[in-house]
Structure 1
Amino acid sequence: MAGHEFSVAILVFFLLSGAGLASLLLHRKLPDRYRQDDTAAIIRMVANVFVVVTSLVLGLMVNSAKNTFETADRDVHAIATEIILLDKLLRRFGEAGDEVRRDLLNYVKQASAVARTKANGLADSSQRGEDLLDRAGESLRAITPTSGAQMALWEQALTKYQAVFDLRWKLVQQADGTIPSALLAMVVLWLALIFGSFGYRAPANFIVVLSILLAAALMAATIYLIVDMDVPFGGPMSVSRGPIDRVLAALSR
């Protein structure tokens, strides 16, 4: 669903408002036996069942999206911290660590360039980003420690590099969100049924039409925010790019 949050919201708005307004206009053309009070009561009962179920599922979707967003935000700060700590270890190698530091800086610069068009370049899955990080790892493994102290530093640096490598791929996997499209589609269909019940036997006046349109717009905005939060690296509710800026500043010193 990444990149399609706005399209989903527009589709939801037209589907919900269309269901409500179609019911409002068409119920008058139904035969009298379909407009009796007992029929209307059953329709409202069915709609109430879906109101309860939809409320529960929407609550679960909000919680899932919130957890996805918070996990991605935490991992972005974690990878930023690991890169800075790795750079500090490499500085202690002196000239032997300069090539690794250059490769690491090039990777961060690439991530920063990607961040100009995406919310966070540290979640970039491009081949160039992967190659730059792999090159830093190869340069690090090529270092030959000359003392016990350097061996300890080298092992710590390898551990930090592996943490950066693992976190990068974890962020890449988080970029597409966790809410299944099928579940979202089912919830929208349930909402359409609920909105259809709103227009059944309702008076066709300006206030009723405005209420249906306003409710559809607000529900579409709700779905938009849920989907947008579930995709943590795009849209208005996205993980901050502040960590990558701090990393670039730290490595450039």
Structure 2
Amino acid sequence: MSHSIVALLVFLVVSLSALLGLYISTRLPDHHLSDDSMSAIKLSIGLVATIAALVLGLLISSAKNSFDAVNNALIQNAANMIRLDSVLSQYGPETGPLRQTLKRNYADWIALIASNDATRDARLDSPAIIGRMEEFGRGIESLQAANDTQRDLKTRAKQIADDVFTARSLALLRREGTLPRTLMFVLVCWLAVIFGTFGVLSPRNGTVIFAFLICALCASGAIFVILEMDTPLDGVIRVSTRAMREALERLGR
């Protein structure tokens, strides 16, 4: 289910809860809405609202950390690609085919990350791409070092290639999101209870209903942002490939 649909469902649930609260308030006996009763309800719902605010802040922080982790991994990956190409260039002209393969594979990887193809996720973990990575690693291993300088460069190239593949794996592992869906569901239930209680305690007029709708829109927007940042490779809010494209232009020079 897309994040936009989830946010729309949250908006509907929260809005309907507020409207249901307004309706229930007209059916309750007057003594249920006395000053003492309303004070007790406000204290109780204040506790729920505080917990919901803390959880919402926690989810936003966690989603932002996931987004930053993937973004930083891709930026570091771009820097490592430049380093790897430079080390291979220093090794000698015999690494020319390896450098061409590196640039071609990296261009395919960037195109795949930036695409919105429905089959993209399956292609990211496809045996063909994994095979290319392994073949490139074997290409570095097969280099015949003629002196200490080349042996040192070969060792560095292998280490940098491992770092590149590690960063790639990190990005792939986080592409599905890390937030527990159960916690998200519970949070939405809390929001529904909070808005429903607001409806019970509020007068029935157009201004109140409009305010409830605006607040429900803000709450659903927060859920949308959380879901978007938790999946950095998909959706509207996604990591930029600018650093990767800049690195690609510098490969092979």
TM-score, normalising length from structure 1?
0.90
CA contact (8 A) 2:78 2:243 kept: yes
CA apart distance, 1:201? 4.1
Q: CA RMSD in A?
A: 2.3
Distance, in Å, in 2 between the alignment partners of 1:143 and 1:77 is 28
Distance, in Å, in 2 between the alignment partners of 1:124 and 1:249 is 22
1:77-99 deviation per Cα after TM superposition (whole angstroms, max 9, x unaligned)? 11111111111111123332123
Distance, in Å, in 2 between the alignment partners of 1:6 and 1:43 is 33
- Pairing 1:242–2:221 present: no
CA contact (8 A) 1:13 1:216 kept: yes
- Cross-structure match for 1:5: 3
- Cross-structure match for 2:90: 92
- Cross-structure match for 2:39: 41
Which residue identity is paired with 1:170? L
- Pairing 1:195–2:199 present: no
CA contact (8 A) 2:113 2:233 kept: no
Which residue identity is paired with 1:69? F
- Cross-structure match for 2:207: 207
1:206-227 deviation per Cα after TM superposition (whole angstroms, max 9, x unaligned)? 1111111111001111111122
Distance, in Å, in 2 between the alignment partners of 1:213 and 1:110 is 45
Distance, in Å, in 2 between the alignment partners of 1:89 and 1:201 is 69
Task: Specify every segment of 5 or more residues in structure 1 that has no aligned partner in the other structure, as ranges.
Answer: none
Which piece of structure 1 moves more, 238-247 or 126-135?
126-135
Distance 1:177 1:202, change over 3 A: same
- Pairing 1:136–2:139 present: no
- Cross-structure match for 2:14: 16
TM-score, normalising length from structure 2?
0.90
Which residue identity is paired with 2:38? A
Distance, in Å, in 1 between the alignment partners of 2:18 and 2:127 is 48
Distance 1:191 1:170, change over 3 A: same
CA contact (8 A) 1:103 1:135 kept: no
CA contact (8 A) 1:72 1:232 kept: yes
CA contact (8 A) 2:100 2:252 kept: no
1:25-77 deviation per Cα after TM superposition (whole angstroms, max 9, x unaligned)? 13312345544443333322221111111111112122212222222221111
- Cross-structure match for 1:58: 56
- Cross-structure match for 2:162: 162
Which residue identity is paired with 2:189? L
3-state DSSP class of the match of 2:209? Answer: helix
CA contact (8 A) 2:114 2:241 kept: no
After superposition, residues 97-112 of structure 1 pair within 5 angstroms as: 97-112=95-110
Query: Identity percentage over the alignment?
Result: 28
Task: Specify every segment of 5 or more residues in structure 2 that has no aligned partner in the other structure, as ranges.
Answer: none
Which residue identity is paired with 1:244? M
3-state DSSP class of the match of 1:204? Answer: coil
Distance 1:201 1:62, change over 3 A: closer
CA apart distance, 1:14? 0.6
Which residue identity is paired with 2:224? Y
How many pairs are equivalent? 250
CA contact (8 A) 1:145 1:154 kept: yes
